[in-house]
Every structure is written in structure tokens, then in C-alpha cells.
Structure 1
Amino acid sequence: MIKGFKDFLMRGNVVDLAVAVVIGSAFAKVVDTVISNIITPLLATLGGEGTPGFGPTLRSGDAKTFMDFGGILNQLIVFVLTAAVVYFVVVVPMNRLMSMRKTGEEPEPEAPSEEIILLTEIRDSLRTRG
């Protein structure tokens, strides 16, 4: 089980995930700010005068019964834009890098030289002595 975890760490999935989380959360704040300051006011104008935004009020005069469709649309836009940026900034370059690595064959490890073989035998001999 430990070997499997080590292999998982060595594949780079953890690094990819960490980068995606950091970029995604940072970009989500930027997108959220843009949406809140540009799209939200535009959607609020669709609700008409006297309404708190884009959506109906179920009970007239009670602000707690307002169904904010504009807020839902804002969050959908934030999600889609954030996912698109993470995909195009992190996933596409990583996939391109991985495909470039796959096409370039890794050279076979060279056979150890006679000196290395001799040194390995000496090391093993010293270990057994003591």
C-alpha cells in the first residue's frame, strides 16, 4: 500500500491537483469580482423597477421571499469561466507536455561498466563481513 502511495506521489498527480486548486481559487475570485460588478447590475435591470434584482418576489413587500435568479446565473458564469481557465491554463499544457514525453522514447539504461560492477561486488563483500 505504501508503494502505491509513493507511485501516486511520484506520478505528479498531487502537483497537478495543487496547481489546479491554487489557480482555480485565485481565478474564481477575479471572475466573481467581474461578475458581481458588471453582470449582476445588468441582470438586476432585467427585474424592472422596484425589484431587488432578476427574479420574482413570492410575497409582495417581503424581501426574504425574493428568488434571486441573477445570483444563480452569476455563480454558473463564475463556474464555467473558472473551469475553462483551469482547463486551458493547466490541463491543456500538461497534456501537451505528457504527449511530447510519450513520443520521445526514453533511452534504455546503459549496462553498468566493469568498474561499477567491481565496486558493487566490493561493497556487497564488505557488507557481508561486517
Structure 2
Amino acid sequence: MIKGFKDFITRGNVVDLAVGVVIGAAFTALVSTFTESFLKPLIQLIGGGTGVSAGAWEIKDGVVIDWAAFINAVITFLITAAVLYFLVVFPMNKLAERRKRGEEPPSDTPSEEVLLLTEIRDALVAAKTPQQQRGALDELLDRNDSRR
């Protein structure tokens, strides 16, 4: 059980996830501070009023509904979600789409099929008569079957 946990922790994905969570939390705090410091006062001014009652409704016995804080939280969420989508999700989706289409760089070594076809081509070019071509082809195919 400990070995499995150690393998899980030492994988690169866990470290990337931890870094992402820390950066996401710091970014959310930044956006929250921005909306709390700049946007919420604007919302309260637009909502009519200054002081404690700006952007809030007093219902009864001092119970206050702070609708400006709710709108502020919605704006914070939308800004955070938009930035994460356009800087993380959208590029990752594009990368996955490219991989699915097969746009990854080709490997340096040719496949086994390509090597066999190259040998067959070279043997047929080297042979002069159809009998020699047939013999060279049979020899190559027999040699390839014996490798398997």
C-alpha cells in the first residue's frame, strides 16, 4: 500500500495537479480582491446609494440581503472560469484534437512493414528476369516468416 502511494506521488501528474491547484487558488484570490475592491463599489453606486445600505436591502429587524456581494461573486466566478477556459482548457482541447488527427511528429525509425517493402523493392529491382524476381520474393518472404 505504501509503495502504491509512493508511485502515485512521484508521478509527474500529481505534481502538476498540485501546482495547478496552488496557482488556481492564488488567481482566484487575485480576482476576488479585484472584484471586491473595484467592481463591488461600482455595483453599489449603480444600485443607488452610499454607506452601509448601498447594494443591500434591509428586510426586517436588521436582516440584510447583500445583493451587490452576490453579483460580485458571480462576476468573480465568470472571470475565473473564462481565464481558466481560454488559458488551460481550450489549448489542451486543441492539443488533444491534433493528437487525434495524428499530427504528432513521426518516429525516426520506419515501421517493420516499411522495411519489408523496401527489401522487396530492392530485391525486385536487382533481379533481371521474372524467374529471378519470383525467387528473390520467395526468399525474402520465407526469411521474414522465419523471423516471427
TM-score range, shorter chain: 0.5 to 0.7
Any gaps of 5 or more consecutive residues in structure 2? 1-6, 113-148
Q: Describe the shift of the 1:49–1:37 C-alpha distance in structure 2 as closer, same or farther (beyond 3 A).
A: closer
Structure showing greater radius of gyration is 2
Once the 2 structures are TM-superposed, how far is the Cα of residue 19 of structure 1 from its aligned partner?
5.3
- State percent identity of aligned pairs: 39
Structure 1: give runs of 5+ residues left out of the alignment.
1-5, 112-130
2:44–2:50 contact (8 Å) kept in structure 1: no
Distance 1:82 1:50, change over 3 A: closer
Q: Which runs of 4+ in 1 moved over 6 A?
A: none
CA root-mean-square deviation: 3.5
For 1:79-94, what aligned pairs fall within 5 Å after superposition? 79-94=77-92
Asked which structure has the greater RCO (Cα within 8 Å, sep 6+), the reply is 1
Specify the alignment match of 1:54 in structure 2.
55
Match of 2:99 among 79, 98, 101: 101
Aligned residues: 105
Query: Which residue is equivalent to 1:71?
Result: 69
Provide TM-score, normalisation by structure 1: 0.59
Question: In 1, Cα distance between the equivalents of 2:91 and 2:15?
Answer: 14
